[in-house]
A and B are shown apart, each in its own frame.
Chain A
Amino acid sequence: MENNINAKLENKSSVNVKNLVRTNAIWLVFLIEIIFFNIFSKGTFLSGNNMVNIMRQVSYYGIASVGMTFVILIAGIDLSIGSIITLVNMICAFILMNMPENPMTFVVALLVSLIVGILIGLLNGTMVAFIGMPALIATFAAQTVFEGIAFLITNGRPISGFKKAYPAIDFFARWTVGPIPICAIIMVVCFAIGSFILNKSYFGRYFYAIGGNEEAAELSGIRVNKMKLLIYSLSGFFASLAGIVLLSRSGSAQTTVGKGLEFDVITCVVLGGVSVNGGVGRISGVVAGVLIIGCLTNGMILLNVSEYIQMVVKGLVLAAAVGMDCLSNKGRAT
């Protein structure tokens, strides 16, 4: 928006149309995607049933992407969220199965799940901020460690059967308000919170400042390390919330449930225009990124595209998204 002001001074009409297309290009992509899948699935894609399906599928991407947006905004990365999601699934299910059957257990299981996510986030934040480890390596190490721990809880066996005792677990992904699943509402609330933090709270200003220039941010009175700790904990929190939704959706906890999810979430965020170099990005873009990736996954499954081709396509999308970001940075530099 601020760049537009400059543009307006000269060359009014053409530049504005260009900018309009540019800022909304991602929604255009989304539209084309929908039309494409709808035509090739012969209308199944936009059917009511599938729409609800997409909402369920998209919700845990969306929830986790809010935390990832903050992380990437400060030029960091969090590779551990996939294993947080797995671990949360296992721990939550484990508590439900092994503690006395009463409503308190349900609450405890959820709380512990969220706290575990936050703690892993704190650990990531400590490694990155106070020890100074590169985020890529620190969170990669965390990913491996917690994936292993998730596996150790049951030696790799899935946990199921808790649904009988606690049908309330269905609340997150299976219950609906009208046609809308609760998890989609949770996602929207998370987006709203993310947008609020970035636009209205002073934390958001700090995030952009740190992403733009850490040293200058510190010298402007921002406690950069504390903010990093906060951001990685938030990432852990949102990941564990996504984990709970996923558990609710599948009804059983598997040790492979979160594998590779960080990849999808990073793709959503970067595709949504959050610069991997930090300092640039908005939640509205991430919403579009999440919808595009969600629909892509769903559409490809609908069209019976093999899992391996799906991997190829998603990898290309990530490369393209980062490539566009880097190209536009290059343009700005000269």
Chain B
Amino acid sequence: MNEDYVLELEHIRKEYPGVVALKDVTLQLRRGEILGLIGENGAGKSTLIKCCSGAVIPTSGKIRINGKEFDRMTPQLAAENGIAIIYQEFNNVKELSAAENMFLGRPIRKGMVIDRKAMEEEAAKAFAQLRIKINPRELVKNLSVGYQQMIEIAKAIQQNAQVLIMDEPSAPLTNNEVESMFEVVELLRNRGVSIIYISHRLEEIFHLSNRIEVIRDGEYVDTLITKEATVDQLIRMMVGREMTQKFPPRKPCIDESKVVLELDDVCGNGDQHMSLKIHAGEVVGLGGLVGAGRTELAQVIFGAKPKDSGRILLNGKEINPKSPREAIDLGIALVPEDRKRHGALLGVSIKNNINMPIYKRISTASVISSGTEKATAEKYREEIQIKCPTIGQLVKNLSGGNQQKVILGKWLAADSQLIIFDEPTRGIDVGAKFEIYKLINDLVEQGRAVLMISSEMEELIGMSDRIIVLAERQMTGELTKDQFDADTIMAMASAVVDQRNAG
């Protein structure tokens, strides 16, 4: 037993029927430190923290909080012992005020009546402690995602949390919001709160943490002092192999004579005056801040949302897709950002997912040709190396990277000419990212055209042949490969905003 540790997880093992999620994971959190927890998707980070919160009961292993030993946690026990978790999805009620959300489920009362004033004062105090400016009376739906997260943190602190576990806290935030979140996290550490910080973004881990724990495939790999660790070392530990290149090389394959997609002054779905061209064999990156109108543009091209004016030309012919079905039949595909909600059919097999857009085509008098169905699925499983025991496997049992491959396989089966990627590697671990990039290369090398929306600057610059930047629903710039520069892109992405602020 060591007095230094506020939270210790020892030899945690968690089995599900048929799967071992955690084999033997140990984690020690020192008082007043930030421990970065990293690992590829499916490494078991989420399961591990759910063991701390009581949402998951470990098959075996010990949990020790301030030296007190537990076999398992319950949500009540976790709260009593000062463990709080900030999940990616916030537990807030949008129609209630910031203060009411802070005291959700345990309001301050005067007898039967809720004491709104006391709650607002307490909330204001908690916000002041974290040096954040939120009006306690403001309805949560009017607050930005960053502030909503702050309410969650303030709530945890108000409840005397000693251990704060943050699961990908930066994922929904803009750059500015991330910076203020960092300040709050550091402030808390200096006050003696111990923090487990989970993130895919290594630079954040380096910026914040004192120590870094790496887990892989449900097993503990190592814990490093942050100052002594290097990026390559961490990636190697996470992936289990050497990663030399971030972006695979691509053969030059742009066919300038063949314009696959042309937008001519397209307005619709909130976007204004979009004009662009994508050639065969070309990857055009679409940069900009969240909310700049990139996903909205993709929806218009894919027929999911109607356009108001302008022309969309595919291979020189004007098209006007009114539904995804029409767009798909024309040869347009969309790999959406929210894979679980919009992309893959999780409860359906790999085989069915891949064949979904073409079932009508491979059916005679509505009867599916099961031979073709199977052959198609096997073909793409082979071609894009979907790792699975059989094509009958349900997609929800696959890792994020493999799910993304299934979605891609679906569009390859549909023989799409233009593939729109919306944040192609969001939430995908480092090793699988590289494979997705390779697949994008394969696509353009086969003469397809790719429109890639990305908020990751590195990815945008590394993968695109040309970059178009949007800001506030308008195009603010277009860069050729020799002009690529992170600062220029950022300037263009915030161009309209600046003008407005100036004026």
Binding site for B on A (CB under 8 A): 1-3, 5-11, 15, 200-203, 205-206, 208-209, 212-213, 215-223, 279-280, 334
Contacts and interface: CB of A to CB of B under 8 A. Distances in A.
Contact of B347 (A10, A220, A279): A279
Contacts of B67: none
B281 to A, nearest CB: 25
A15 B17 CA distance: 8
Contact of A9 (B334, B342, B389, B410): B389
B56 A334 contact: yes
A6 B389 CA distance: 8
Given A201-B366, A221-B356, A5 B389 contact: yes
Interface stretch (B58-66, B129-137, B270-278, B321-329): B321-329
Going nearest first, the 6 A-B pairs with the smallest beta carbon separation are: A202-B359, A212-B347, A6-B18, A221-B328, A221-B357, A7-B18
Contact of A220 (B20, B329, B345, B368): B345
Contacts of A202: 359-360, 362-363, 366, 368
B367 A200 contact: yes
B357 A220 contact: yes
A6 B397 contact: yes
Interface in B362-383: 362-363, 366-368
Contacts of A15: 17-18
A219 B334 contact: yes
Contacts of B347: 208, 212-213, 279-280
B342 A219 contact: yes
Contacts of A1: 392
B345 A5 contact: no
B346 interface: yes
Nearest to B325: A221
Contact of B345 (A6, A217, A223): A217
Contacts of B397: 6
Given A5-B389, A221-B324, 17 more contacts: A1-B392, A6-B19, A6-B397, A7-B18, A201-B367, A202-B359, A209-B345, A213-B341, A213-B347, A216-B344, A217-B345, A219-B302, A219-B304, A220-B324, A220-B345, A220-B356, A221-B328
A320 B489 CA distance: 59
Contacts of B360: 202
A213 B345 contact: yes
Given A10-B18, A218-B324, A205 B346 contact: no
A207 to B, nearest CB: 11
Interface in B336-350: 336, 341-349
7 contacts: A2-B390, A2-B393, A7-B18, A10-B20, A209-B345, A213-B341, A216-B343
A201 B368 contact: yes
Contacts of A3: 18, 394
Interface in B138-159: none
Nearest to A279: B347
A165 to B, nearest CB: 39
Contact of B348 (A5, A200, A212): A212
A255 to B, nearest CB: 38
Most buried by B among A203, A221, A222, A334: A221
Nearest to A278: B347
B359 A334 contact: no
A282 to B, nearest CB: 14
Contacts of A219: 302, 304, 324, 334, 336, 342-343
B352 interface: yes
Contact of A200 (B345, B349, B368): B368
A216 B359 contact: no
B55 A334 contact: yes
A2 B394 contact: yes
Most buried by B among A1, A200, A280: A200
B297 interface: no
B342 A216 contact: yes
B195 interface: no
B356 A222 contact: yes
A247 B334 CA distance: 51
Contacts of A206: 359
Contacts of B302: 219
A223 to B, nearest CB: 5
A202 B356 CA distance: 9
B83 interface: no
Contacts of A221: 324-325, 328-329, 356-357, 414
A92 B334 CA distance: 50
A11 B360 CA distance: 40
B17 A216 contact: no
B199 interface: no
Given A15-B17, A203-B366, A216 B345 contact: yes
Contacts of B170: none
Nearest to B359: A202
Given A9-B18, A201-B367, A220-B356, A209 B348 contact: yes
Contacts of A205: 348, 352, 355-356, 359, 368
Nearest to A197: B366
B345 A212 contact: yes
Contacts of B55: 334
Nearest to A217: B345
A213 B362 CA distance: 22
A105 B394 CA distance: 52
B389 A222 contact: no
Most buried by A among B19, B325, B346, B397: B325
A7 B362 CA distance: 32
A12 to B, nearest CB: 10
A124 B356 CA distance: 26
Contacts of B349: 2
A81 to B, nearest CB: 24
Contacts of A203: 366
Nearest to B388: A5
Most buried by B among A6, A8, A15, A202: A202
Interface string B383-423: 00000011011100100000000000010001000000000
Given A200-B367, A216-B345, A279-B347, A209 B356 contact: yes
A160 B147 CA distance: 71
A223 B325 CA distance: 7
A5 B356 contact: no
Nearest to A223: B325
A280 to B, nearest CB: 7
Most buried by A among B18, B334, B357, B363: B18
A8 B389 CA distance: 11
A213 B367 contact: no
Contact of A216 (B323, B341, B363): B341
B325 A5 contact: no
A15 B360 CA distance: 37
B304 to A, nearest CB: 7
Nearest to A8: B18
B332 to A, nearest CB: 10
Contacts of B356: 205, 209, 217, 220-222
A221 B362 CA distance: 14
